[in-house]
Amino acid sequence: MRTKLLEELKDNYGIVFRNMSLLEEAFTHSSYANEHLNLKLKNNERLEFLGDAVLQFLISRCIFMKYPNLPEGKLSSLRSLIVCEDSLAQFARECHFAQHILLGKGEEISGGRKRPSLLCDLFEAFIGALEQDQGLEQVKKFIDKVMIPKIDSGHFEQEKDFKTALQEKLQKSGDISIKYRLFKEEGSAHDRVFYISVYLNDKKIGEGIGKSKKQAEQRAAKAALFKMKGSVK
């Protein structure tokens, strides 16, 4: 395991792994493990599975306590913004995790080190490894340093659910039909770009582009709202 990663974990977060194989597993992508079968390496997919569940629980508990009057639906939406792919990828970048993950040659060449989905998975895998090595309380301490400050600052409250906003605005006029249609997608399987249009009663009112269909739909809804005389600022 790279010395710089160990130093950064200790200096920035006070983390010293007891079981180094867990940390190595968290930072080993399946593409690297597949290219080095003779080393019999474990990739980070199982730890990613665990880390996802740990994050869901800890963030749920955090916002449940922080927002005592927020209904279940709003809590779910807020949690989704905090633990979504783009958010976790950004946390991974801020922790400098991207430079330490082991990638296969093809994944490296195709820009995997910058891919949000890969970075999101890496962050979740690290959380899983930390939980297995030192328990839930140590994960909470790490999250308190890395994620909670953004929650406390209201960063995620500023995010808008444009699809919901569009639906609420248009439904004031009565019965309407809003549909999102994929009209183009391009790029490799690991770096897909989706193009989506949003229609009101079969009339196109906006278009969006994103790394996922959900992201493209949100951007299409946002574009439609902006067309409606700047109703979203």
Domains of the chain: 3-158 (1.10.1520.10), 162-227 (3.30.160.20)
93, 118 Cβ separation under 8 angstroms: no
223: left (phi over 0), alpha (psi -120 to 50) or beta: alpha
Q: Counting Cβ atoms within 10 Å, is residue 109 exposed (0-12), middle (13-18) or buried (19+)? A: exposed
What does the pLDDT read at residue 164?
84
Spot the catalytic one: 48, 85, 107, 124: 124
Beta bridge partners of 45: none
**pLDDT score of 233:** 42
Amino acid of residue 48: E
3-class secondary structure, 27: coil
Could you confirm whether 86 is annotated as catalytic?
no
* Tokens read off for 113: 């080190």
At 38 the pLDDT is 87
124 is a catalytic site residue: yes
Q: Could you say which of 25, 48, 52, 133 is catalytic?
A: 52
What's residue 231's pLDDT?
46
What is the pLDDT at residue 159?
Answer: 54
Q: Which ranges constitute the DSSP H helices of the chain?
A: 3-13, 20-26, 30-35, 45-66, 72-82, 85-94, 105-109, 116-134, 136-146, 148-152, 162-170, 213-227
Q: What is the pLDDT along the chain (233 residues), one digit of tens a residue?
A: 578 999 999 999 999 999 999 999 999 999 999 998 888 899 999 999 999 999 999 999 999 999 898 899 889 888 988 998 889 999 999 999 999 999 999 999 999 899 999 999 999 999 999 999 999 999 999 999 999 999 888 777 655 678 888 888 888 877 789 999 999 998 877 778 899 999 999 899 999 998 888 888 988 998 898 888 554 44
